[in-house]
Structure formats: structure tokens, C-alpha cells
Chains A and B, each alone.
Chain A
Amino acid sequence: MTAYIIRRVWQMVPTMLGVILLVFILFNWVGGDPAYVLAGKISNQEQIDNIRRQLGVDQPAWVQLWIFIKQVLTGDFGASWSTNEKVSNILATRLGPSLTVLVPLLILETIFAIGLALAVAYVRGSLTDRLVMIVCTVGLSISILVYIIVFQYFFAYKLGWFPVQGWGNSFRENLFVFSALPILIALTVSIAPNLRLYRTFFLDEINQDYVRTARAKGLSENRIMWIHVLRNASIPIITHLMAGLPGLLLGAFLIERFFSIPGIGREVILAVERSDFPVIKALTVYVAFATMASNLLADLMYKAADPRVQLK
């Protein structure tokens, strides 16, 4: 087990270097000289030279790359170009609000999607099954923007059930008052694709021999579905959940933007709008790292879900 983890982490090194190289090339060459972006409108040659020296852009490429690698390793990306706040500080303070929305969302979404998918898979081929699938397909096709705009308008603005937007200081208030509508919207949007996907996972299992055996033994349908089928279908579900985890952090960026939640996703949008390169660079590298880590975690969770899985 330990040997496996060490080997997997070792295999991440070239990929991680590739990500660093990609981000480095993207931000130092594709977009032109970063000094001009930072200098903006008030630029004379002297100022630009100054900024170039500060950023180290006047150094040869391999020195610049080394500076960037050191930044990644130490976590010190310097200060944001627009607010002068330390980048590490930005990331640390924005993570909390994002997680306040995402953790309850993930738990609720998984419970609802699995429960509904099991129910629909149980009555497969029936009218209910078909209707649910049609609703899911149509629901999937409506842009997430339309959901957010309409829900925010009706539930918050018209009916006043929720605050239109905002974020407070107490965790309780944030979770139960400000996060409620964002979570509801995200749940509505994400349940359709997950329900469809999980249904196919369950359908793959439901015709297997072991299900027939379980039925022949006289087990209750509840036990068959919730224990036997669910456990066997859990591997693709875990893969799907873990693969989507880092993306979820950003995927909520539209919701964070609409509801002014000071999270990671909103920070990305702001950074792109302001051409705040250090923030985007730091986020890209660390989210890539989080993706690799969650893939590894998914592989380890297979073992827990299915003892037959051999980690090699």
C-alpha cells in the first residue's frame, strides 16, 4: 500500500512539471510580455524596464522558469497585481466560503442522485422511468445561466424567501441563510446528469447473476438494491465523484459570481477580468495538483469499496 502510494506520487512528478511548464509558457510568452500587462496604460519605457526587473522577465528563460518552480514549491507567488494582497492569503481566505457551499452540496447531491437513480433503475422501462429520463434530458439542455437567473429572480427577488446575494461573518448564517439558495440551484442543475449516469451504472448491475441469487435467497428488494447493487455500482460512482471534485471547486464559479460569495470560483473570474496573472497561475497549478491527488484518492477508495481490486 505504502509502496503503491509512493510510486503513484513519483509518477505525478513529470505531469506536475508539465503543468508548470505549460502555465509558464502560457503566461510568459503566449500573452506577450507580462510587464506590459502589469504596466497597463500608464507606461513609459523606464517604468516597463523597472517592472521587468521586478518580475525577473529580463532574466534568461531558464532562470525565470526556476523562479516559477521555486514559487510553486514555497507557495509564495508574491502579491496580487490588482489588490496587492498576498496570493497565498487570497487562496486561504477564499477556500472557506467555497467549501461552505460545496461540502453540503456534494453530500446532498450524492444522496439524492443515488437514491433517485436506484428508484428509477428499479422501475426501469416503465412510464415513470421514461418520464424521468425525458425531464432529465430537457433539464440538462437548459443553460445553467437560465436556472440561476430565474431562481434568483423568483425565490430571492420576487418571493423574498432567500437573500438576493451576500455573505456574512458567522458560519451559521453563511451556511443556512446565504448558501441555501445557491445550494438549491446547484442541486437542481447537477442532479439531472448524475441521475442519468448513475442509472446506467445501476442498470449494468441489476441484471447480474448475483442479483438473481439474492432474490432467490428471499432477500428483500430494499436490501438487494441498497446493499448488493449499490455496493457493486460504487466503483464507477466513486470515479465520477472524485474526478469531478476539483472541477466542482471552479464549477460553482457562476453561482459564486451571481450570489457574491467570496470563494475560489469568483476569485478566478475576478482575476481573469483584471488580468491578475499571479492569482490565476497559482490557482491553475494548485488545482491541477488537487486533481492528481483526488485521482489517487479515488484509486485508494476503490480498494475500500471492493476488496477484489488489486493496487499495482
Chain B
Amino acid sequence: MANDTPLQSPVRIVREIPHTVSPGLWALAWKRLKSDNVGMVSLVIVAAFIAMMIASGTGLVAGDWAKESGVNYAPPSFLGADIEGGTPAAPGVPAAPTAPAVEYKSEVVDPLADVLAEIKGEQKPAGTDAAAASAGDAGKSVDPLADVMADIRKDARSAPAEIVATRAATLPFGGDKWGRDVLKKTIKGSETSIFVGLAAAAVATLIGTLFGALAGYYGRWVDDFFNWFYSVFSSIPYLLLILAVAAVLQQKGTLTIILILGLTGWTGVFRLIRGEYLKHKAREYVQAADAIGASNGRRMFVHIFPNVSHVVLVQLSIYAVGFIKAEVILSFLGFGVPVDVVSWGSMLNEAQNELILGKWWQLAAAGTAMAILVTAFSLFTDALRDALDPKLKGLAGA
């Protein structure tokens, strides 16, 4: 009896070893990531933002963000409608929605703001017009981009009854200059900003990986050439390069901004991937691939690439954060997405003038949404790097 147990267990272990498949890099990384609470929470937040982006892109949520569902600068519901000193109390007047809505706007008194004065100035002639049209006119007077506003006005006029009927004195998270729901607008803005960030990160990583692979794998003059190319690009500060390209490319568009960010931002990943390929190309498994007659391209992308792909993934994540921030700044300055596309940057641009009028909610909404996503994404990137970094592999297993 006593002899059986010690005899059996080593036999069983020996027999079982061939059956256990040693976990691969990705399985190990996933296990490590799962044990990282901060990493998992931030992964869930990032995934939620991306799900929101897809839902908004396919029109499931915030499809009607452009609808002017509240009065101009409708305050958030939790504040109540009356926050402007000189404004007559507007809440609880659902009986005749058209007239109060116009009065509410025209009697706003704020001597400090020329923007508001402009609205007021344009408001008087508009007041004689039909009440339904005045909303569009008020918006137009402030916006120098008459074309876009004309479109919006045309849309508004096509269904005036609906617009007028649904104008509310307050909105859950407030309204913007045209009375659009800030919450829906933020969701729509997230869609643009996150999409641009991810797409540009994909472009930059793709270029950087390709160049890095070629330079590291072939070495010699190919390496020299790409290194020269790298030093040229990296000697121009990143923002200046982006602005120079933005100045040259006259047309604005989501695709343009993705290309600008992607084509100028590949240098970081290039350097890392080149180093990895230099290291890997002399390893035995690559020599073995050579021996069985694998072509250069196959060795580069089928054999070596899976072994450096974790570096690529971490870089992709780092880039996404950086490009989301860059897109916001570019769109803020007006070099990013076109005016009829809403992004966090364009929202912050509007918020800048709104704050002086005391309308802080658009700034808060766009700023908070961005801060949450970027915090979660950076923490997730850190967790991902810890989970995938080969240097820490031995430490984490011990």
C-alpha cells in the first residue's frame, strides 16, 4: 500500500507530460492580463467605447444627434431650465412650445459676450418671421460657414412641425448652440475621434512594421536607406510635420486626417520592429525555414512576424491613445475633420466660446468622455505591455 502511491504518481506524471501542451505566448499573456484587475477594468471600458463607436457608426444609437431637440443652449435637466439671470423662467411651459422657445432666446441678456450680441442683433428681424424658421436663422448668424448651415436649415425646414413640437427647455446633459442633445453629440463625437485614432494607428503601425521588417531583415543598403528615411522623419518634430502636411493637403476629410497621422507617425514602431527583426533573423528557426526553402517574404511575415507581433500590438495601443489626442487638437484648430463632422475636438472648439456665456456642459461632456477613454486606454496599454513584455516573462511565472 505504502509503496504503491509513490510509485504510481511519478509514472502518472511522466505519462501526462507529453499530453500537456505548454501554453503559448498569447495564452500566457491573457492569463496574466486576467489577473490584472486594473487592466481588465480598463479593457472593459475601452471595449465599451469601441462598442459605442460601432453602434453609433451603424446608426443604432445617436443616429438623430443632429436633431435640434431642445432650445438653444438648453441647460442640463438637473440644473433646471432657468440658470441665466435675465431669462424668464421657461420650465413647465409645454403648452405652446413655439412662442416660449423664441422668447427664451431673444431675451437672453449678457453684455459681456459679443457672440450673444450677434445672435441678438440677428434675432430681431428673425423674430418677425415665422417662429419655426427663427431657430435656423439664429444659428446661421453666428456660423460663418453658411453652406453647411444652409443644409442644416433646409433639413430643419423640411420637417418644421417636428422640430418645433419636440423643443424642450432642458435636456438630460444640456444642449449646444443649436439645441442639439450634448449627450448624443458626445457619442457621435466619440465615434469620429476613436475611429480616426484607431484607423490612423493601424496605418502607422502597418507602415512602421513593413519598413522595420524590410530594414531589419535585409540589412545592408536597405537598412541604410530606411535608417536615413527614419532620421529625416524623426528630425522634424511630429506636430510640425502634421501641420505642414495639413497645410499642403487643402481638402479636409476624415480620410485625410487618418492619412496625415498615419503617414507621419510610423517612426516609433519602425525602430522597435527593425531591432526585433535584426535579432530574430539569425535565430535557428529562421535558418530552418531557409533550409526547407521558404522564400524571403514567407520567412519575414509567416515565420518571424508572429514572434514580434506582441510588440506590434503594444505599439498599436500606444499609437491609438496618441492619435486620439492629436486628432482632438487638430480638429480643434480646424485642420482636422470637416465642419459638418462632429468630433471631440470640434466640440471643444465650440465649448471655448460657450464657457464665456456660462454654458459649461458641452466642455464637461467632451472633456470627461475623452479623459475616461484615454485614462482607460493608457492603463490598458500598460497592462498589455506588462502581460506581453518578454522581459517580464520569467518574473511573472515565478
Contact = CB atoms under 8 A, between A and B. Distances in A.
A, B from the same assembly:
yes
A273 B335 CA distance: 8
A103 to B, nearest CB: 18
Contacts of B128: none
A249 B92 CA distance: 54
Contacts of A247: 237-239
Interface string B244-264: 111111100000000000000
Interface string A269-285: 10111010100100110
A272 B379 contact: no
A287 B240 contact: yes
Interface residues of B, number: 44
Interface string B353-366: 00110000001000
A21 B235 CA distance: 13
A284 B334 contact: no
Chain A interface helix/strand/loop/mixed = helix
Contacts of B233: 22
Contacts of A277: 247
Contact of B348 (A137, A140, A143): A143
Given A149-B351, A149-B363, A280-B243, A19 B328 contact: no
A116 to B, nearest CB: 20
A153 B244 contact: no
A268 B352 contact: no
Contacts of A138: 371, 375
A42 B371 CA distance: 45
Contacts of A122: none
A301 interface: no
A145 B250 contact: no
A272 B243 contact: yes
Interface stretch (B61-69, B224-232, B310-318): B224-232
Interface string B206-230: 0000000000000000000000110
B237 A268 contact: no
Contacts of B348: 143, 145-146, 149
Contact count band on A: 35 or more
Contacts of A37: 250
Contacts of A250: 237, 239-240
Contacts of B325: 143
B147 to A, nearest CB: 16
Interface string A12-48: 0011001101110011001110000100000000000
B235 A251 contact: no
Contact of B235 (A144, A271, A288): A288
B333 interface: yes
Given A143-B328, A149-B352, A153-B355, A31 B228 contact: no
15 contacts: A18-B228, A18-B229, A18-B231, A30-B248, A32-B250, A141-B378, A142-B367, A143-B328, A143-B329, A145-B348, A146-B348, A269-B243, A271-B247, A272-B335, A275-B247
4 closest A-B pairs (Cβ-Cβ)? A18-B232, A31-B248, A141-B374, A141-B375
